[in-house]
Amino acid sequence: MNLPRAEIMATPQQIAAAADVARRIEGLGKGGKGEVVRAAALEMGCSPATLYRLMQPHTASTRKQRSDAGALALTLVEAEVLSAYLMETFRQTGRRILSLTLAVEQLRANGLIQARRVDLSTGEILPLSDSSISRALRAYNLHPEQLTRPTPHTPLSSPYPNYCWQVDASVCVVFYLPMGKYAGGCEIVPLDQAVHYKNKPENLRAIERFRVIRYVGADHNSGAGRWRYYPHAESGAATVAFLAWMMAPKATLADPMHGAPEHLMIDPGATSAALVRRFCHRMTINLIVNKPGNPRAKGSVEKLNHLVETTFESGLKFQRHNVRSIEELNSLAEMVQLNWNATAIHSRHGKTRFAQWMTAPADKVRRTRDAATLLSLATETPATPTVTGELTVRFKGREFRVNHIPQAVVKAKLTVCWNPFEEGAMAVVMGADGHETHIALPEAPRNASGFIAHSAEIASQYLAPKDTVLETNRKRVAEVAAGTTGLAATEKARAAKDYVPMKHLVPGGVDPYKAAREAAPVTWLPKRGQELDITLHTVEPLRHSATQACMRIQQRLGTAWRPEHYQWVMRRFKEGATDAEIEALARQFLAGDEQQREAAC
């Protein structure tokens, strides 16, 4: 309850005395009131200001309200510019590094705001005070303190345990593990905030490879939480390893939590890498990647992160010499979390977390295989390299043999993926039932001369490659074409000079043109058109001189040539004769010669 300070601190005697003073000065003017108040304050042992506050409930003010009360001298446009300028100076931590006074000064200098008022009594233009500007920003709901308040959020719920898990990874800011510090391993070392912090990056880099990454997972319905530590840095491989550990059946009955969730909420980044997405796809888990800067979406796991720091990591300082490896740290963490999940009461449902998890319907607990089997499903996004003539593929800068893969054929694409947990390449073969089969690919190293290791040495070895599906089919179709069985018979039949492919299948052999030969001709109605008006050129035939014409006719007639023929041609064709005319004369002379011979007989 917010009460005035005078009302909280005043004694009954002071309140009664203040009421009496208020009655005494009620009819006095300005000059007389001050003297009475100062004398009464001195008698009461308080300041005049305190006495005025005590008198407020017993006086009635006759002062009129200002005509411009509630009016804002700072315009909305200027308030928006000033608010935007101030908000841009906030750090990611939410700390403002620019004061209101300096921001107003800088914006006035740049002519972006004026922030002034007019004194109506004198007409003077006066700059607004910082307090007036701050009140205006608050009135417009543009003050940075207002804009940085939390935004409203929609509460989330889950119908039963194992419906949705939330997973988060963060660098353990309390300890790190410097490997090899002792002969027996190492011990956890507390981070010194004066040494290892963001303003001394060289110190952070010095311990980067010794950092400990904390992975925390929480079941949204029951609140059951698990956490585990991994070395170095957040990665997709570590995320999958943590998920596989959480989902796999446990060896002890003290740990009932297992099974694949239906939904998984994670943050963007390495936690949602392609390896994680592919793993969740194979496990039929709906992956929900939250928007950046929205930790409230994963409230359960964020709260669990805080609990891990305060209930577990806070005690590591006392056991630092007993923790010499990541394995020992995880063993200690598992012991603590099993006890915590089994005994700590959750405020929302009023049960222990494991007790609430046990209420999950049997058909909603999707049991999985062991962690090792689950990790075999974790592969990176597949690539499709081309199979070379040596039956190898190049993948991740290395060469792998694929001669044992039935689907591997030269110049074809082969789907290959990488399993980071087995450190090997795998060929992905899709079966007829739609399920994937992963086949390990051995590496194909090369010797110092650059030859592949399984090459056949000249004149010493003959290593015929195993037939691929293409080679097998190629031989089979050759047998079908030749009508033979066996490679030798096929080659002999095809080498014959009279070899006709597939003549044994159809009497007379295959007629490629039978369809066209037997097809009824297609008739078309004449298409109407328009005659093209063109000018035809005249072709003038070559004319031979009369002498050349006689020589051609003589060659044609032979012994039937007569001197009178020469005389007749010279008279008739003085301008020469064409080939057609020469041919006509030759036939005419021959016909006349035949008639003369018949008459003579």
Q: What is the 3-state secondary structure (H, E, C) of 159-221?
A: CCCCCEEEEEEEEEEEEECCCCCECCECCCEECCCCCCCCCCHHHHHHCHHHEEEEEEEEECC
User: Which H or E run includes 326?
Assistant: helix 326-343
Angle 30-44/48-55 helices, nearest 10 degrees?
100
Examine the pLDDT at 478 and tell me if it is beyond 60.
yes
pLDDT at 217: 93
Q: Which residue has the higher pLDDT, 568 or 228?
A: 228
Write phi, then psi, for 174 (nearest 5 degrees). Answer: -100, -45
User: Which H or E run includes 316?
Assistant: none
Please state the rounded mean pLDDT for residues 526-539.
Answer: 75
pLDDT at 184: 41
pLDDT at 206: 44
Q: Among 273-277, 473-477, 532-536, whose mean pLDDT is lowest?
A: 532-536
Rounded distance between C-alpha atoms, residue 27 and residue 17, angstroms: 18
Q: Which two tokens stand for residue 421?
A: 């947990």
Please state the rounded mean pLDDT for residues 92-103.
Answer: 76
Tens of pLDDT, residues 364-395? 899 988 888 888 777 767 777 888 877 888 87
Examine the pLDDT at 307 and tell me if it is beyond 80.
yes
Examine the pLDDT at 360 and tell me if it is beyond 50.
yes
Contact 25, 36 (CB under 8 A): yes
Examine the pLDDT at 12 and tell me if it is beyond 50.
yes
Which residue in this structure is represented by tokens 């009135």?
139
Give SS3 for 418. Answer: strand
Give the single-character DSSP code of 56: G
pLDDT at 272: 67
Q: What is the DSSP annotation of 208-258?
A: GGGEEEEEEEEETTT--EEEEEEESS--HHHHHHHHHHHHSPPSSTT----
pLDDT at 319: 79
Give SS3 for 53. Answer: helix
* Mean pLDDT estimate for the chain: 79
Rounded distance between C-alpha atoms, residue 578 and residue 307, angstroms: 119
Phi-psi region of 397 (alpha: psi -120 to 50; beta: other; left: phi over 0): left
Please state the rounded mean pLDDT for residues 77-99.
Answer: 81
Query: Angle 71-74-79 (CA atoms, 0-180°, nearest 5)?
Result: 125
The band of 174, judged by pLDDT with boundaries at 50, 70 and 90, is: low
Residue 108 identity: R
Examine the pLDDT at 547 and tell me if it is beyond 60.
yes
Q: Which residue has the higher pLDDT, 218 or 182?
A: 218
Give the single-character DSSP code of 508: T
Q: How many other C-beta atoms are found inside a 10 Å radius of the C-beta of residue 163?
A: 18
Q: Which residue has the higher pLDDT, 229 or 195?
A: 229
Cα→Cα distances 495→289, 463, 475, Å: 66, 27, 15
Give the single-character DSSP code of 392: E
Show the beta-strand stretches assigned E in 62-176.
116-118, 125-127, 164-176
Q: Among 76-80, 121-125, 400-404, 533-537, whose mean pLDDT is lowest?
A: 533-537
pLDDT at 262: 92
The band of 177, judged by pLDDT with boundaries at 50, 70 and 90, is: low
> Residue 452 pairs with which residues in a beta bridge?
446
CA dihedral 226, 230, 234, 240 (to 10 degrees): -60
Tens of pLDDT, residues 415-472? 887 777 766 777 777 766 666 677 788 877 777 766 666 666 665 655 556 666 666 7
Contact 368, 247 (CB under 8 A): yes
Write phi, then psi, for 318 (nearest 5 degrees). Answer: -85, -10
Contact 175, 189 (CB under 8 A): yes
Rounded distance between C-alpha atoms, residue 79 and residue 99, angstroms: 15
Please state the rounded mean pLDDT for residues 21-47.
Answer: 81
pLDDT at 270: 62
Rounded distance between C-alpha atoms, residue 553 and residue 565, angstroms: 9
Tens of pLDDT, residues 310-349? 888 888 878 777 887 788 889 999 999 999 999 999 998 9
Examine the pLDDT at 263 and tell me if it is beyond 60.
yes
